Amino acid sequence: MTNLFAPIKIGDLELANRVAMAPLTRNRSPKAVPNDLNTTYYEQRASAGLIITEGTPVTQQGQGYADVPGLYLPQATEGWKRVTAAVHAKGGRIVTQLWHVGRVSHVSLQPNGAAPVAPSAISAGAKTYIMDADGKGTFADTSEPRALEVSEIAGIVEDFRRAARSAIDAGFDGVEIHGANGYLIDQFLKTGANQRTDEYGGSIENRTRFLLQVVDAVATEIGSGRTGIRLSPTTPANGISDTDPQPLFNYVAEQLATRALSFIHVIEGATGGDRSFQYEGTSFDYDAFRNAYRNAGGTGGWMLNNGYDREAAIEAVESGRADLVSFGRLFIANPDLVERLQTEVSLNDPDRNTFYGGGAKGYTDYPSLDAAA
């Protein structure tokens, strides 16, 4: 049996296999509260070694898309309790992804219609998902952001800490901090979005400061062994870029290595696209990134993501490039993906028309092998 389906312990988390469910925004939680449909969706996928939930905003300010579940309302925590209980009843493990989108938002989603916040007042030039005047989901241009004052940043760090505590109260086995895909932490890291001249801008050490403050706050609150982080060194998602990502992320790796985290979740290349994508005029060596982490003493599980299939995932684990591999779109259409990968049977094809918003169709109605039989 390949190690892809063997148990593994990462930090404080003991997992039945090394197939993780990647976070997937599905826009089916009105008023930011998880519901019965969400519970069914995650329960169906409990055979994953680890479920990482869809991005979960730590505050309303951190929300960038309509109908995503949050972790800043008491009723949301209660909703998540039903989700985690259902997954645990099936023997699964589940963490939630703590999210602040920064500039990737729209005024209609922000408190009092305010401008989204960012390291610098630079537009993402991206699209987001909002509700139109008729209450129907639609895509719209992100709104122009404003630059955060230094005095505001500690409050956002505190929002992450508070949300991490709520996650544990809701029964989650841990959390994943979202530091990828052009959202707020990634915006602070990368030169294309961060033009600050204070202690949060300029040098690599300064641009990394916010990330490390969030990691330390969360790990201190819930334990480093229940804390993971997602990073995307070269993705262009949401208009993000960097002039020299290798030294930046090697430094990030070295710093994270000293913090005994549960796992590092790495998106290779362009999110949802070319796994070999690199920013124009730059190069990036993912092996060097991983080696920087290991050589500095990092012991967390190394998880890879982006368009992996069965063969590529097995190769990544057997070669030592990864301890775990996460799957996104394949888990949308295949609730029993682990069994399908193990037995090498055919996979359901995902319906892209039902990825965002809606009800059970394209969400909880994909057939399992048992149902097909």
Q: What is the pLDDT of residues 317-334, one digit of tens each?
A: 999 999 999 999 999 999
Catalytic residue among 41, 65, 72, 183: 183
Distances (CA, A) of 129 to 125, 136, 180, 217, 247: 14, 10, 18, 30, 34
State yes or no: is 183 an active-site residue. yes
Q: Which domains does the chain have, with CATH numbers?
A: 3-372 (3.20.20.70)
> What is the per-residue DSSP string for 308-362?
--HHHHHHHHHHTS-SEEEESHHHHH-TTHHHHHHHT---PPP-GGGSSS-SSTT
User: Does residue 1 register a pLDDT over 70?
Assistant: no
What are the phi and psi torsion angles at 57 (to 5°)?
-55, 140
List pLDDT tens digits, range 167-177.
999 999 999 99
List pLDDT tens digits, range 233-276.
999 999 999 999 999 999 999 999 999 999 999 999 999 999 99
Mean pLDDT of all residues in the chain? 97
Strand, helix or coil at 253? helix
pLDDT band per the 50, 70, 90 thresholds, residue 370 = confident
Residues whose CB falls within 8 Å of the CB of residue 268, separated by 6 or more in sequence, listed in order:
234, 275, 276, 286, 304, 305, 306
User: Does residue 166 register a pLDDT over 70?
Assistant: yes
Cα gap 214→196, rounded to integer Å: 19
Q: What is the mean predicted confidence (pLDDT) over 165-189?
A: 98
Strand, helix or coil at 266? strand
> What is the per-residue DSSP string for 140-186?
EEPPPPEEPPHHHHHHHHHHHHHHHHHHHHTT-SEEEEEE-TTSHHH
Whether the full predicted model's pTM is greater than 0.75, yes or no, is: yes
